[in-house]
Amino acid sequence: MKDYSIIALLLTLLAQKPYDPMLTDEPFNEYDFIVVGAGTSGAVVASRLSEIPEVTVLLLEAGDTDFGNHLVKYPNSFNKLQRTSVNWNYDIVDQKHSFFQMEKPSKYPRGKILGGTSSINGMVYLRGSPHDYDSWQDHGAKGWSWRDVEVFFKKVENAVGDEISDRLGRGGMLNVSRGYRSQMYDKWIKAGKEIGIKEVDYFEEVEGISRLVCTYSEGIRQSSSDAFLRPVYEERKDRLHIVTNARVGKVLFVTDENGKLSADGVTYIKNGKEKIVKARKEVILSAGVIETPHILMLSGIGPKNHLENMMIKVVVDAPGVGSNMEDHFNNPLYFKLNSPRYYGQTKNSMKEYILNGTGALSTIVGIDGVLHHRTKYFGTDVSLSTKKRPFPMIEALFVPSPYPIVFSTHEKPAFHSGAVLYLQHPKSKGTISLNSTNPFDQPIIDPNYLSNHDDVKILIEGFRQLEKFEMTETMKETGFTMVVPDVCNGQVNKNPPRSDEFYECYARSFSRGTHACCTAKMGDKDDKMAVVDERLRVRGVQGLRIADASVMPHITSSNTQAPCYMIGQRASDMIKEDWSLI
């Protein structure tokens, strides 16, 4: 009986969450800087500011620690992570123009954990097109052209492996490396040559097919927590304090004798108790595209009419807070195969991963390649670019491994692979607004997907581009044929070329978003919808800055992880410059 008790005790100890030595139990009452959100950008800001020995930094995270969470480390646990408490699992309102065939209301994924979304995402590391950032400057973000921002990408990056472009940085804190390469990727390359699409290195030339670079090293995910916090916390524990499970309620303000308004600190709730902490210099909001406007509005910075309707005292009338939401609306596609040999996964895949950290299990469902394409609408009124910047308008990620089909179909293929088609530069804009004044209540999220029909036109061109691959001799040899749903008149459209009506129905029916941005955008002083200036300072108040995806003037031609790292890096330098800390 005694032996069983010992075994039970050991099992209990193993099941307990390990203590994270990086966390602070007794934070100070005052810091030089308070950073809200330990995600992709926030971890960079906190790490960089704490480089200065005489500076104190408090990093507040609403989620839990990532310490001891093995699902975060293992790349192929992506789908499991999305269904756990480390995901905010936001609800979005019923969409008028999309999702009408989905069985369940769509949940919007964002990371609620140290590392934020970098701890739960697909690890894809793409900077975007240089033309994206030149277009940012077109839209009022002075000093954020490609020439201005490239150096900050390089400061973040530590490219591992000889096969990676020399244009990526070496010596930064974030390890990035080439992803796994399947046999299916080779088929995409060969088929691309048949239809005039070349293989490129994405970091040398954007348009074409490229292998992916991912935020992992030796088969282990590299989050912003791993890259920017854990390597430095021991030497900086006297000046960098990190508090988890701390939900920020609002930013506090003071008015000086000259009538100037300044951020003074924040309130946060932990273990059911509200606490106040003051900032001697600045509060930096890095809470993400949803929580940053949420906190701003709870603090009295936002659209005047909305705040008054919520009985919140208006501190700054900022109509752009919660507006201008953009996202990479995307559709999963599934293609039958005549054999599983193209997957790359075999009975030895787990052994290869455990021993070497390589192989098909080292990346998210085997994603290994990406296509960027401009479409025929470039330079027309359908395109978003006001100056006809030649950024690509669609992206497709290649998924050689099978993943669950989200719709009913008569076909039920024995083997299939897939692609995820992204609309890169949508005209449709969404909003974030308050549901209540309780910070624990989710805001109202309305992405307003496909409300502008020009977005549908571009998506149809994206489907057509993938259809060209389907019709190549290379792909026909693999049995590569689209799996069509029972709805959308799928049986009539089993084979290419398919009708525009089928593709529009498919686009509206089976879709989601994962890369939201722009809800507190950057712009010049004449733009009433611009929330921050070119130095990321919130207009109308001193000592308050934003550093996350919400400041983007518009979305990039890439997954948003890399731009968020760049924003955190650049924000840190700006803050140091403004406070003469460099």
Dihedral angle sign, alpha carbons of residues 471, 200, 209, 180: positive
Count CB neighbours of 576 within 10 A. 16
Query: Cis bond leading into 53, ω under 30°?
Result: no
Our answer to whether residue 241 is catalytic in this structure is: no
- Residue 364's region, left for phi above 0, alpha for psi from -120 to 50, else beta, is beta
Three-state DSSP at 309 gives: helix
DSSP string, 445-504: EE--TT-SHHHHHHHHHHHHHHHHHHTSHHHHHHT-EEPPPSSTTGGGGSSSSPPHHHHH
Q: CA-CA distance, 568 to 582, in Å (whole number)?
A: 16
Contacts of residues 473-477 at CB distance under 8 Å and 24 or more positions apart, as own/partner, are 473/194, 474/187, 474/190, 474/191, 474/194, 475/187, 475/191
Amino acid in position 422: Y
Torsion, Cα of 442, 447, 214, 287 (10° steps): -40
Out of 241, 416, 425, 515, pick the active-site residue.
515
Q: CA-CA distance, 568 to 403, in Å (whole number)?
A: 33
For residues 463 and 455, is the Cβ–Cβ distance under 8 A?
no
| Structure token pair of residue 63 | 């989620």
Count CB neighbours of 278 within 10 A. 17
Residue with tokens 């995600």: 39
| Partners of 220 in beta bridges | 217
Tell me which residues are annotated as active site.
515
